Amino acid sequence: MKYPKTKEILNQAVADTTQLMMVVRQQHWYMRGPEFLKLHPYLDEVMDELDEQRDLISERLITIDGSPYSSLQEVLDHTKIEAHPGEWGISTRERFATIIADYRYLEHLYEEGIKVSDEEGDYGSNDILTSCHTDIEKRIWMMQAQIGKAPKIDE
């Protein structure tokens, strides 16, 4: 079997991008306050980007003879991103901090995937993961700026 470690990481990314979309969706639904009209559509863009990444990664997994997780149960069984009940009354800063923490996890997963896919010689997956990683870093920067902080990508 070719690219076994890469396939494992790609499937982890499928589970985690699916769960992260739900985390973002929850923050999107439960958000209130003076920034709502600006941030509600922004979070729609964030979810669209995550969905595009998930689809790209899933299709790559199929291309290299893998089988992406495709049921809610598989996602729940494999994601490393925690689920919490929705809450009202949480500040925008706290909402973004939750999303950013999960984005940092995904950033590190993509970094691991970049290394592993390079070691296994799967340059197509490497290219996809590098592109997704770049997008994740940019989102971290933008969300950190929203809450008045530096990106801290190099930490």
Residue at 130 is within a domain: yes
CATH of the domain at 111: 1.20.1260.10
pLDDT digits 0-9 by tens, 7-21: 999 999 999 999 999
pLDDT digits 0-9 by tens, 41-54: 999 999 999 999 99
Residue at 26 is within a domain: yes
Opening angle at CA 14, ends 13 and 15, nearest 5: 90
How far apart, in whole angstroms, are the C-alpha atoms of residue 15 and residue 66?
A: 14
Q: What range defines the domain where residue 111 resides?
A: 2-145
Structural domains of the chain, count: 1
Global pTM reads 0.96
